[in-house]
Amino acid sequence: MSKIIIVYASMSGNTEELAEAIAAGIQEAGIEPVLKNVMDTNASELEKYEGVLLGAYTWGDGDLPDEFEDFYDDMDDINLDGRKFGVFGSADSSYTYFGKAVDTLEEKLAEIGGEKVFDGFKVELNPSKDEKQQCHELGLKFATALGVSA
Ligand SMILES: Cc1cc2nc3c(=O)[nH]c(=O)nc-3n(C[C@H](O)[C@H](O)[C@H](O)COP(=O)(O)O)c2cc1C
């Protein structure tokens, strides 16, 4: 059973690229993370893991992606005491609420008992090579925070 799950929503692939780069960093630390699209899982699955990473682009007017709505509502019924978390997402600074979905998910995870390992990581549209490298390092840092080393 893996210790870390990454759940993401991505319409045009940018957030998915971030998720994959973070996953690669976690693998470097010796853990095989579970990587799932939010449409293929549900909030109660998070309780099975020691580390939870959520990724979402921002939609509408600072909103969560539609496909994250049910998952988000169901997070009220779970408890993540003792679990560590991190949130990331692609966004577009031409909108009023830049990457607000990342903030929304961070607040919810803290509310249900999670402990934040890194500040919400927001990337402008398509991640650059440098930003993907930063994701890789976040993955490594996250795995290390869980007490796992290569
Ligand atoms: C209709 C629409 C609404 C959007 N609203 C926001 C927004 O409120 N804030 C923001 O930062 N980005 C907003 N975006 C930009 C997306 O978050 C951005 O394109 C992102 O890179 C998509 O990520 P993805 O490739 O993972 O789907 C919006 C995009 C569209 C098409």
Strand 121-124 with 84-91, pairing: parallel
Q: Closest ligand 1 atom, CA of 14?
A: 25
Around ligand 1, the residues with Cβ closer than 6 Å are: 10-15, 57-62, 90-92, 95, 97-100, 125
Q: pLDDT per residue over 75-128, tens digit each?
A: 999 999 999 999 999 999 999 999 999 999 999 999 999 999 999 999 999 999
CA of 92 to the centre of ligand 1 (A): 6
* Torsional sign, CA 72, 42, 114, 59: negative
Is the reported ipTM for this assembly greater than 0.90?
Answer: yes
CATH number corresponding to 4-145: 3.40.50.360
CA of 90 to the centre of ligand 1 (A): 7
Residue nearest to atom 27 of ligand 1 (CA): 11
Domain ranges of the chain: 4-145
